[in-house]
């Protein structure tokens, strides 16, 4: 006897597939994986190019990707508006993010394992929480204090526990550690400034406008030392990695992230970002043969736990961050 149940139509299956692909949760999963892969991909690219070339390519490619998205949305003019009406703010944001933070993290990546660099470059929420404690003037909220303490204990474990035979000694490159932490500090300041700026405009347009200022020093420096010409001689595989880091890792991922933020609350979105360092560790072990030491894993757990505690405590005290402001970065 033939079944009486209707056979799903091709259009029906296509509609369900479109709904699944449009899911904000799928967008968050994709973004988390993409951002977690940035440090390993950048580390692979650094085998053929220098850190200045890496940050320059990432910034320029990200700018073109975001500009293309804005043009597709019919909002490219918003970039000109930001440059015309708030040039000083765009210059400050560009200096903090695409010059200071991105430059420090790229240099740190050239000196540290990708897994360690990813963890240290994503502790900016701890610095933000530390600023909240300082601003409290002697009456800091208990949850934020606990989170900061836990997070910085994890940070110390990652930095000083990589060599089990000489626990407590600094076996990592001290310059790399300092640059990674400095990059996180710059990003923490960027979060504080960027929240106010992005609340008054299009977040993607603000990013592109700030890239104009933040990328200009790297372009000038690479022109002066000849690294820009050398960049175009990089192998095809390296350019594929640069396109992935710049276009997919910054442009596409940021668009997915902001789209998810328009449909989900900040608390839900924040949960996904906690997985980024661990994805970086897993990919670094698989593709770069980096060791997953007990100190790295335990320290990473403590760092992420501290960030989660501080953000949960801060969320109950203040308004949520602006739609385009992320509290951590790749």
b/e map 151-176, b = 16+ CB within 10 Å: bbbbbebbbbbbeeeeeeeeebbeeb
Most confident of 4-8, 258-262, 324-328: 258-262
In this model, does residue 318 exceed pLDDT 80? no
Do 107 and 39 touch, CB atoms closer than 8 A? no
**Given pLDDT bands bounded at 50, 70 and 90, which one contains residue 20?**
very low
Report the length, in residues, of the chain.
330
Q: Is the pLDDT of residue 181 over 80?
A: yes
Q: Give the tens place of pLDDT for each residue, 202-211.
A: 888 999 999 9
If you average pLDDT over residues 137-157, what whole number do you get?
85
- The mean per-residue pLDDT over the stretch 59-88 comes to 93
For residue 18, the model assigns a pLDDT of 52
User: In which band, very low, low, confident or very high, does the pLDDT at 15 lie, cut at 50, 70 and 90?
Assistant: low
- What's the distance, Cα to Cα, between the start and end of the chain in Å? 58
Specify the pLDDT at position 256: 83
Instruction: Note the pLDDT of residue 131.
Output: 85
The answer on pLDDT for 46 being more than 70 is: yes
In this predicted model, what pLDDT tens digit does every residue of 163-172 receive, in sequence order? 766 655 678 8
Instruction: Examine the pLDDT at 21 and tell me if it is beyond 60.
Output: no
User: To the nearest whole number, what is the mean pLDDT of the chain?
Assistant: 84
Determine contact, residues 276/118, Cβ cutoff 8 Å: yes
pLDDT computed for residue 93 by the predictor: 94
pLDDT confidence band for 255 (50 / 70 / 90): confident
CA 61, 248, 308, 320 torsion-angle sign? positive
pLDDT of 85 > 80? The answer is yes
Higher per-residue confidence, 271 vs 117? 117
204 vs 100, residue with greater confidence: 100
Q: Are 145 and 133 in contact (CB under 8 A)?
A: yes
**In contact, 280 and 36? CB cutoff 8 Å:** yes
The whole-number average pLDDT for the span 118-138 is 84
Position 10 confidence tier, pLDDT thresholds 50, 70, 90: low
- How far apart CA 31 and CA 273 sit, in angstroms, is 9
């Amino acid at each position: 006897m033939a079944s009486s149940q209707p056979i799903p139509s091709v259009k029906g299956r296509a509609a369900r597939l479109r709904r699944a692909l449009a899911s904000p949760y799928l967008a968050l999963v994709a973004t988390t994986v993409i951002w977690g892969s940035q440090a390993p991909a950048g580390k692979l690219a650094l085998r053929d190019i220098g850190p200045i070339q890496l940050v320059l390519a990432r910034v320029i490619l990200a700018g073109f990707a975001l500009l293309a998205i804005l043009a597709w949305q019919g909002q490219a003019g918003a970039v000109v508006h930001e440059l015309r009406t708030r040039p000083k703010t765009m210059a400050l944001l560009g200096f903090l993010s695409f010059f200071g933070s991105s430059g420090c993290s790229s240099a740190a990546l050239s000196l540290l394992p990708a897994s360690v660099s990813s963890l240290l470059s994503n502790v900016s929420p701890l610095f933000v929480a530390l600023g909240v404690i300082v601003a409290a003037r002697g009456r800091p909220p208990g949850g934020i204090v606990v989170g900061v303490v836990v997070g910085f204990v994890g940070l110390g474990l990652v930095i000083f526990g990589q060599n089990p035979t000489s626990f407590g000694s600094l076996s990592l490159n001290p310059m790399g550690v300092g640059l990674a932490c400095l990059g996180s500090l710059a990003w923490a300041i960027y979060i504080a400034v960027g929240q106010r700026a992005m609340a008054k405009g299009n977040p993607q347009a603000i990013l592109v406008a700030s890239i104009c200022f933040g990328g200009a020093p790297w372009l000038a420096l690479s022109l002066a030392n000849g690294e820009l010409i050398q960049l175009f001689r990089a192998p095809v595989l390296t350019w594929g990695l640069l396109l992935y880091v710049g276009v997919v890792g910054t442009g596409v991922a940021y668009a997915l992230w902001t789209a998810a933020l328009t449909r989900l609350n900040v608390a839900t979105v924040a949960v996904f970002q906690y997985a980024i360092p661990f994805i970086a560790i897993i990919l670094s072990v698989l593709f770069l043969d980096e060791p997953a030491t007990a100190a790295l894993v335990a320290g990473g757990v403590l760092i992420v736990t501290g960030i989660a505690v501080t953000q949960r405590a801060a969320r109950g005290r203040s308004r949520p961050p602006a739609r385009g402001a992320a509290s951590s970065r790749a």
